[in-house]
Amino acid sequence: MDWDDLRVFLAVARAESLSGAGKRLLLDPATVGRRVARLEEGAGARLFLKSPQGYALTEEGAKLVPHAEAAEAALIAAQDSLGGGGGVGLSGQIRLGAPDGCANYILPQVIRAICDENPALEVQIVALPRVFNLSRREADLAIGVSRPQAGRLTVQKLTDYHLHLAAHPDYLAGAPPLRTLADLGAHRVVGYIADMIFDKELDYLGALGASTPRAASNSVSVQLNLLRAGAGVGVAHDFALPFAPELVKVLPEALSLTRAFWLIRHEGDAHSARLSRFADRLAQGIRREVQRLEAMTKVPQGAQDA
């Protein structure tokens, strides 16, 4: 079988559509369709069933997937051995998926340092508030806020991070006293849109038994800007607070949350020296940056009894 046709086959299997595969491969859907047809003719088997919902693997197609992925892994390993996987600098393109809080406040500094060390490396950060599907190759690596419980994945804990209630002093000055967590009921709370919380680890207000936020967004950076604008009080990442120095922590002794970042890779990439080197450097950088940013956050006197 021709590797180029297998590459197209994997892209269609992961995207479940010709157009989605074409976007990933930079090919038009008609060309993708012809490649699939050529592979099916050569294999003497139907690999996909077409429906209004897209392209679904047949039983024969599902049998081909692990063999195509093995060929893909072997090709990646060969590329690593020729460049970017030994003692020389990293090169080529790496796509990293991350939740928007990490992507906005941690990764820019970390990736800048990695790119400075590896001028031939191209890093793409995909910042979306959702779980990434590495099986469909939406990214080469992903950072998650919980450990996946299923899938052919390798998972590494990166670091713990911390969160506290925060607000703008102007909001606190005009709002009812906030001396205990029970007082939150009298306040305008900023948080996630409840039906768009993509991971239970992000349901901070639910854990507090707090009411539905009256100013909400699915984006961490938007929530932080709502707090900066004096829209209310909400849970904020300690590592984001240095970027909003006007905010103060509220009731830090009453509420202190700890969560973790996890680095997630496809199991088939375990032998890629290039991705392993990048992952090691990324993990080191994230740990250091979270520690640096959190060390910059200090509780102003009086913030506990806002």
Separation of alpha carbons 72 and 170, rounded Å: 56
* Of 139, 178, 173, nearest in space to 264 by CA: 139
Where do the H-state alpha helices sit in 143-272?
A: 169-174, 204-208, 220-228
Q: How far apart are the first and last CA of the chain?
A: 69
- Quote the pLDDT of residue 304: 44
Cα distances (angstroms) measured from residue 81 to each of 72, 272, 280: 14, 9, 18
Would you call 34 exposed, middle or buried from its count of C-beta atoms within 10 A (0-12, 13-18, 19+)?
Answer: middle
In this prediction, residue 132 carries a pLDDT of 57
Neighbours of 95 (CB within 10 A): 16
Output the CA torsion 281→282→284→288 (10° steps): 140
Report yes or no: 114 and 278 within 8 Å, Cβ to Cβ: yes
**pLDDT at residue number 302:** 42
Quick one: pLDDT at residue 134? 54
Residue-level pLDDT, tens digit, the chain, 306 residues: 788 889 899 889 888 899 988 888 889 999 999 999 999 999 999 999 998 888 999 999 999 988 887 787 777 666 666 654 455 578 888 999 999 999 999 999 999 999 999 999 999 999 876 655 655 567 889 999 998 887 778 899 999 999 999 999 999 999 999 999 999 989 999 999 988 887 888 888 876 766 689 999 999 999 999 999 999 999 999 999 999 999 999 999 999 999 999 999 887 777 678 888 999 999 999 999 999 999 998 655 444 445
Two structure tokens written together for 62: 């599902």
Q: Which ranges constitute the DSSP H helices of the chain? A: 3-15, 18-25, 29-43, 59-82, 100-105, 107-117, 169-174, 204-208, 220-228, 273-295
Q: Which domains does the chain have, with CATH numbers?
A: 3-82 (1.10.10.10), 91-298 (3.40.190.290)
CB-based contact 16:138 (threshold 8 Å): no
